[in-house]
Structure 1
Amino acid sequence: MFNDIGLPELAAIIVLGMLVFGPDKLPKVIQDVMRTIRKIREFSESAKQDIRKELGPEFKDFEFEDLNPKTFLRKQLENDDLGLKEIRNGFDLKKEMAEVADAVHSYDTDPAPSALPSASGSSSAAPGGRVDMTKKPASPGRDDRPPFDADAT
């Protein structure tokens, strides 16, 4: 419950308790707090036992910690009924990417059946079906405007 409280935090709590309650009342306040924490723990344990009893014998191995998503996933991945380890070990991302890159490069080296014309009517395709992205397209002049479409405006 208080696993993340270190020595500096504990010292600060003690000093603050001494200032607020004084050295006379501090031991009684600590006893009251401990008694309250003990009662809360007993209440939660009895509630857990009641829930287990109501669920029946089918859920005798049920643990409330399993309701935490991280714990649930860790337990399911350790179980590995689905064969996830085989899938994870059989998948090689570098190999898959190399195959995709090879397929793309072999497609680029095949001659293209026809080059697509650009807006100005000239072909901007380089040999081998590649589009030369280093060349800037010719800026359209006044005569190269697309036709006016009244429905589009």
Structure 2
Amino acid sequence: MFFGLDWEKFLLILVVAALLVGPERLPRYAEALARLTMRVREWLQGAKTRVKEEMGEEFDDVEWRKLDPRQYDPRRIIRDALLEDAPVPTVKAVSAGAAIAATAPARPVSEVTGDVPFDSEAT
């Protein structure tokens, strides 16, 4: 719903608020909430009308669903932007051992099997 609340939690909060406010003040608060809701609805309708007037005929041509920020995936946007410039060649995956062996210089076997240096003060 909103603020990460589901209907059961929202209903529980309303019941607790009604108990805290009390039966004497509850009608006044409900009336104030209804007035606030009507003002917000009128304000939103006025804003929509004002935007329509300022944009003119173009307002009906806009595809509002395409402008919804929730539909954007940053990975897709970056991939599409990179692919627009030039095609990217595919790279064959190589195992880590083969990549290290291909790039490491050849060393003599005696150097590999020699004693490992040890520093007793380092630990």
**Quick one: higher RCO (CA 8 Å, sep 6+), 1 or 2?**
1
| Bigger-Rg structure (1/2) | 1
Listed as ranges, the gaps of 5+ residues in structure 2 are 84-88
Distance 1:53 1:99, change over 3 A: farther
The percent identity for this pair of structures is 24
Distance 1:2 1:135, change over 3 A: closer
Distance 1:36 1:104, change over 3 A: same
Amino acid of the structure 1 residue aligned with 2:117: K
After superposition, the C-alpha distances for 1:94-151 in whole angstroms (9 at most, x for unaligned) are: x43x16753431232x54xxxxxxxxxxxxxx417x878x72289xxxxxxxxxxxxx
Distance 1:7 1:27, change over 3 A: farther
| TM-score with structure 2 setting the length | 0.53
Query: Corresponding residue for 1:52?
Result: 52
State the Cα RMSD in Å. 4.5
Listed as ranges, the gaps of 5+ residues in structure 1 are 85-89, 112-125, 139-153
Query: Corresponding residue for 1:19?
Result: 20
- Counterpart-to-counterpart distance in 2, 1:31 and 1:127: 89
| TM-score with structure 1 setting the length | 0.45
Number of residues paired by the alignment? 110
